[in-house]
Amino acid sequence: MTLNLNSIFGQFSPDILNFIPMTLIAIVLNLAWLSFSNESNWLPTRIHLFLSSFYNGIINIIFQQTNPNSAPWALPFSAIFTFIFSINLLGLLPYAFTSTSHISLTYSLGIPLWMAVNILGFYLAFNNRLSHLVPQGTPSYLIPLMVIIETLSLFAQPIALGLRLAANLTAGHLLIYLLSTAIWILYTSPIIASITLTIFFLLFLLEIGVACIQAYVFTALVHFYLSQNI
Query: Does some domain include residue 159?
Result: yes
User: Under DSSP, is residue 41 helix (H, G, I), strand (E, B) or coil?
Assistant: coil
**Which residue type occupies 59?**
I
What is Dmax (Cα atoms) for the chain? Answer: 71
Query: Does some domain include residue 75?
Result: yes
Alpha-carbon distance 150 to 156, whole Å? 10
Residue 16's beta-bridge partner residues? 21
**Which residue type occupies 1?**
M
Alpha-carbon distance 109 to 150, whole Å? 23
Helix (H) or strand (E) holding 16: strand 16-17
Q: What is the pLDDT along the chain (230 residues), one digit of tens a residue?
A: 444 444 545 545 555 555 555 556 556 665 666 666 555 566 666 766 776 777 777 777 777 766 677 777 777 888 888 888 888 887 787 766 777 888 888 888 889 988 888 888 888 777 777 777 777 777 777 778 888 888 888 888 888 888 888 888 888 888 888 888 888 787 778 788 788 888 888 888 888 888 888 888 898 888 888 887 77
Among the listed residues 16, 166, 5, 19, the one whose alpha carbon sits nearest the alpha carbon of residue 95: 16
Query: Does some domain include residue 4?
Result: no
Q: How much is the pTM?
A: 0.73
Number of domains in the chain: 1
Query: Does some domain include residue 57?
Result: yes
Query: Does some domain include residue 123?
Result: yes
Among the listed residues 73, 76, 102, 74, the one whose alpha carbon sits nearest the alpha carbon of residue 87: 102
Query: Does some domain include residue 89?
Result: yes
Helices (H), 125-229: 126-131, 143-185, 190-229
Query: Does some domain include residue 1?
Result: no
Query: Does some domain include residue 5?
Result: no
Domain limits for position 92: 10-229
